Amino acid sequence: MAEKEFCTNGWGKGKVKYRTHAAAEKGARRTQSGLGLHIYECRHCRGWHFSKQAPQNKVEAIPSAAKLRRQFEGCFSYLVASWPFQDA
């Protein structure tokens, strides 16, 4: 049997990492409370886990072009101001 891989949740507690969705489903079925468990892909380890909590479906909004432009201009201004340019 392969050694189990782990990931940690937001509180630092270890949880089993499954390589595939099917493997996570199989692991969920083996638990006594297998019914009602939700399987999800972990954004940290890219593995699969299961949980009693339903997915929260948090979708990050795509920033507008104007917002991206402002952020880029701010970064560019900072770089220009801090770069040690020398006159040629």
DSSP class per residue in 14-27? EEEEBSSHHHHHHH
Tens digits of per-residue pLDDT, 23-61? 998 888 888 665 678 888 888 888 898 888 877 765 566
Radius of gyration, CA atoms only, the chain: 22
Q: What is the pTM assigned to this prediction?
A: 0.53
Q: How many residues does the chain have?
A: 88
What confidence tens digit (pLDDT) does each residue in 67-84 have? 888 888 877 777 777 777
Q: Tell me how crowded residue 28 is: count the other CB atoms within 10 A of its CB.
A: 20
